Structure 1
Amino acid sequence: MTTFPVDFSATCAATGELLPGTFAEATSDQIHSACQRAAVAAIELRSAEPQRLSEFLSAVATEVRARREAIVERCEQETGYVRARVEGEFERATGQLDLFARLAVERPWDRTAEDPADPDRKPFPKPRMTRRFVPLGPVAVFGACNFPLAISVIGNDFVAAIATGNPVIVKSHPSHPGTCELLGQAVKEAIRKTSMPDGTFELLHGRTPQTSLTLVQHPAISAVGFTGSPQGGRALAKAVLERDNPIPIFAELGSTNPVFLTREAIANRMTSIAEGFAASLRFGNGHMCTKPGVVVIHDDDAEAFINATKQILARQPDLPMLSGPIAEAFDRGVAKLRSAAEVKELFIADASSTDGPWHRGAHWFGMPVETAINDHWLHSETFGPLSILVRCPSEHDMIRVAEQFHGSLTSTIHCEDAKSAFCRRWRAVAERFSGRIVFNGWPTGMEIGAATQHGGPFPASLDASSTSVGHSSTERFVRPLCYQNWP
């Protein structure tokens, strides 16, 4: 029997102190048992009536709502998010459960196609062909550190997999294991009350890479859903490819989410744009995969925009980072920019006013276009409240910047006329590398609906054709199957 390191505890993001409770690293035997039970459950779920899956998701929503206060309180402690932020995510997570309970019955992913038979066709009879979609099987889910409710135990991967008839094994995030445990208890109670198969769901704790690798390499696992760092996603993808039977992995990895500010927009709406940028940068204290990490502006407009934005950033309080390691990574990103040539500090939050060891405020750096392009700053994502302003001497150079991006979850433009020559040129470039294009808005904040697309070319995600959020996220966990001459 293989065992991994012993119990671990969660920390309070606001103070760095240990929180009550310990969590045991999953052993290889526990992982194997969970996967075996999921494989058995997959057989029953494969033929489960849609209404049964719907009722289970609704039961999960009910159990989670019954534990609201405990979940919100623990989540607030483990993340350092302000109460309103946690409560807003709680509503999103439970609303997502309600939505996918409905989609489980509507089955928008099951696009059945029929080709009728033609026994009289010459020279050979034509068989009857039916194409439909079937579940993949047990799905291993890795939740995000920045969305402990909506992209976690009961999050987007869970609801999409369950709605399409797949069991789920969640590897909890080590930054918020207590929150994960409370959510897992709610799911287990919903399983009991709805008489779902025992292997429909399992929660495994762990903070070592080996635990995650052991899970995704188990032969019973049929797909992987991951939200996290490029390094973590690529490590799991490598492990998946090295299996005897490689499986799909759907990994959302984040991006710098460039924002382009046209001269006309700055002339007409500079104050509101500055306010919107500052709010988007600090939403969740910059812990968003859609944070505006790069802003591109004409050099003639830069100073006025900088001055307006600095006044707003100066009024914003420092807030906790999600964990000690994330705070340390943020500090390394700041130090790298501070030591770089041709990079100027535009705004650095006053560290003397911080309330805890992991509190950080806004950090904003500026650089000329050639530095941004030649030193690869356009692709350098620092998780947290940090952004880069790229100053361009011409609109031609702004387009040059757009052409440097390889893949991004979002791209945004502030423009007064979508039919202008610049906006048309920019959109043609942005369509090559973006998963979502935002007009006169901000990338943070995302609707969950039939048209939602959360993904994009690498490094935004590993599969640019799929979305990890929205109705179409269900398509990741089914595959097409053709029946020939089946009665």
Structure 2
Amino acid sequence: MNVIMNCFQATCAATGELLPGEFAEATANQIDSACERAADAALKLREFSPERLGEFLSAVASEIQSRRTEIVARCELETGYINARVEGEFDRAAGQLNLFARLAAERPWDRVTTEPADPDRKPFPKPRMSRRFVPVGPVAVFGACNFPLAISVVGNDFVSAIATGNPVIVKSHPSHPGTCELLGDAVIEVVKRLGFPAGTFDLFHGISPDTSIRLVSHPAISAVGFTGSPQGGRALAKAVLERENPIPIFAELGSTNPVFIGRDAMAARVEAIADGFAASLRFGNGHMCTKPGVVVVHEADAESFVQATCKSFAKQPNLPMLSGPVADAFDRGIEQLQLAEDVDELFVAKRSHSDGPWHRGAHWFGMTAETAIRGGWLHSETFGPVSILVRCPDEETILRVAGEFHGSLTTTLHTEASDNDFARGWLKVSERFAGRIILNGWPTGMEIGAATQHGGPFPASLDGRSTSVGHASLERFVRPVCYQNLPENQ
């Protein structure tokens, strides 16, 4: 991106060229005004029926569909994603809007528990008690750089906040501000057309950390939804804790998503596992929070697996990274691995003369279990198409490596029935650190449903008890209230 005074421009990820349009850094007055409008809207939205909230989300889905061509085209330019990838994410975003429109009307989060009164109880009468959930209030949302449609302006935080009756203020991602603005314009159109309060939704731009800090520090903001780097999430969490009235922050930060491969599974289908791993690592060019960043194998199986995987990597083209800063960070991460002791270079994609400045391909490094543990590589996430292979002398060491992980969105085991004894031991360890446990599959690609869990112990997220995707995400932006002695119809 290029900064011009208080404005900046987006960059074409495939070529590095500046894209049309300038985006102004939000001023303090603009942020404060948006927060005040949201506080006013929060009170008004409590009077809206669940059906109207659902109608709003459905209307947003229809509105972005009517603007699909323009949104997809801009998103391709700003991210470098291929058309099929963007079209697929658009469908996910639209589907998520329609799903949560239904959930808004059904209100599965509004679990009411009632205890009847007992005026004759001795020695004291028992009051009537009722516990239910209410919206928290205005929610500040920070979208992900890698999901500009489905985890962004109209993404998972937006749908769960609106479905539960909360206004939303989005700080656009500076890597794709044009895409964010197109989506934001669609939401604003629906706000006006359906007669919702003006503060139901706001969007502003910014590249300065101070802009984000000011938003989450405003007393009207009642909760925060964030997807991004551990550094960014920690900075916002610190600001939230330092408020006069601290608020909840739901932040997804980072994950290496370890994959473990049983010996019999490797013997039975090494090529299929290798192809699956290569495809999963390169999905979205490694820009996935669920990317398989660590693979753990028995050292006796390593050679055949490496050979099969490198064949798959060699067939894959280099693709653009999401932005210049992301490409630079990727290069720094690769350099650290290349300079580290006892780390083997298994595969490094060669640059082509037709590649743009940010094009990168698969990078793969190998090491022993002791090196991985001692060097902290099990927890070292480099955003992009890079992974490490950890070689273990026996199954006991594999389980010891599993025990070193302290927080991950996912973990995966490839196994055969004959590996069951090992699998049972692995499962006990994995339940301690992972939010989603996968058997004979791959972590990229995620079903959105009632059982979805996208979150885990730190650093996967700041609150491992919540999910940022799926039906249960509705529970993040409500809080319980007990009503004592209120009439039944209140």
Given that 2:263 and 2:419 are in contact with CA atoms closer than 8 Å, whether structure 1 keeps it comes out as no
* Equivalence for 1:121: 121
* Per-residue Cα deviation, 1:82-120 (whole angstroms, up to 9, x for no partner): 000000000000000000000000001001001001111
Given that 2:264 and 2:419 are in contact with CA atoms closer than 8 Å, whether structure 1 keeps it comes out as no
Structure 1 runs of 4+ with >3 Å offset: none
Tell me if 1:82 matches 2:101.
no
Partner Cα separation in structure 1 for residue 29 and residue 185 of structure 2: 21
Provide the identity percentage: 73
AA in 2 matched with 1:351: R
* Equivalence for 1:205: 205
Given that 1:257 and 1:411 are in contact with CA atoms closer than 8 Å, whether structure 2 keeps it comes out as yes
Given that 1:418 and 1:424 are in contact with CA atoms closer than 8 Å, whether structure 2 keeps it comes out as no
Given that 1:299 and 1:391 are in contact with CA atoms closer than 8 Å, whether structure 2 keeps it comes out as yes
Tell me if 1:482 matches 2:443.
no
Secondary structure (helix, strand or coil) at the match of 1:403 reads helix
Is the alpha carbon distance of 1:422 and 1:108 closer, same or farther for their aligned partners in structure 2, counting shifts above 3 Å? same
Alignment of 1:18-97 (within 5 A): 18-97=18-97
Alignment of 1:252-401 (within 5 A): 252-401=252-401
Partner Cα separation in structure 2 for residue 251 and residue 157 of structure 1: 10
In the TM superposition, residue 420 of structure 1 has moved relative to its aligned partner by 1.5
Partner Cα separation in structure 1 for residue 418 and residue 391 of structure 2: 22
* Equivalence for 1:470: 470
Partner Cα separation in structure 2 for residue 315 and residue 22 of structure 1: 39
Partner Cα separation in structure 1 for residue 354 and residue 138 of structure 2: 45
AA in 1 matched with 2:12: C
Alignment of 1:102-141 (within 5 A): 102-141=102-141
Is the alpha carbon distance of 1:255 and 1:452 closer, same or farther for their aligned partners in structure 2, counting shifts above 3 Å? same
In the TM superposition, residue 47 of structure 1 has moved relative to its aligned partner by 2.5
In the TM superposition, residue 417 of structure 1 has moved relative to its aligned partner by 2.2
Secondary structure (helix, strand or coil) at the match of 2:25 reads coil
Partner Cα separation in structure 2 for residue 197 and residue 274 of structure 1: 53
Given that 1:354 and 1:360 are in contact with CA atoms closer than 8 Å, whether structure 2 keeps it comes out as no
AA in 2 matched with 1:126: K
Given that 1:318 and 1:354 are in contact with CA atoms closer than 8 Å, whether structure 2 keeps it comes out as no
Partner Cα separation in structure 1 for residue 144 and residue 5 of structure 2: 22
Partner Cα separation in structure 1 for residue 432 and residue 253 of structure 2: 18
* Per-residue Cα deviation, 1:253-287 (whole angstroms, up to 9, x for no partner): 12000000010000111111001000000000000
* Equivalence for 1:216: 216
Unaligned runs of 5+ in 2: none
* Per-residue Cα deviation, 1:141-193 (whole angstroms, up to 9, x for no partner): 00000000000000000000000000000000000000000000000011111
Partner Cα separation in structure 2 for residue 364 and residue 418 of structure 1: 29
* Equivalence for 1:403: 403
Secondary structure (helix, strand or coil) at the match of 2:131 reads strand
* Equivalence for 2:249: 249
Is the alpha carbon distance of 1:155 and 1:265 closer, same or farther for their aligned partners in structure 2, counting shifts above 3 Å? same
* Per-residue Cα deviation, 1:48-76 (whole angstroms, up to 9, x for no partner): 10011011111111110000000000000
Partner Cα separation in structure 2 for residue 204 and residue 301 of structure 1: 52
Is the alpha carbon distance of 1:273 and 1:14 closer, same or farther for their aligned partners in structure 2, counting shifts above 3 Å? same
* Equivalence for 1:451: 451
Partner Cα separation in structure 2 for residue 466 and residue 295 of structure 1: 26
TM-score (ref. length: structure 1): 0.99
In the TM superposition, residue 419 of structure 1 has moved relative to its aligned partner by 7.3
Partner Cα separation in structure 1 for residue 353 and residue 402 of structure 2: 37
Partner Cα separation in structure 1 for residue 354 and residue 257 of structure 2: 28
Partner Cα separation in structure 1 for residue 41 and residue 340 of structure 2: 55
Partner Cα separation in structure 1 for residue 222 and residue 422 of structure 2: 46
In the TM superposition, residue 352 of structure 1 has moved relative to its aligned partner by 3.4
AA in 2 matched with 1:422: F
* Equivalence for 2:98: 98
Partner Cα separation in structure 1 for residue 401 and residue 484 of structure 2: 52
In the TM superposition, residue 418 of structure 1 has moved relative to its aligned partner by 8.2
Given that 2:264 and 2:418 are in contact with CA atoms closer than 8 Å, whether structure 1 keeps it comes out as no
Partner Cα separation in structure 2 for residue 354 and residue 202 of structure 1: 41
> Mean Cα displacement is larger for which, 410-419 or 21-30?
410-419
* Equivalence for 1:6: 6
Partner Cα separation in structure 1 for residue 209 and residue 323 of structure 2: 18
Partner Cα separation in structure 2 for residue 58 and residue 295 of structure 1: 41
In the TM superposition, residue 46 of structure 1 has moved relative to its aligned partner by 1.8
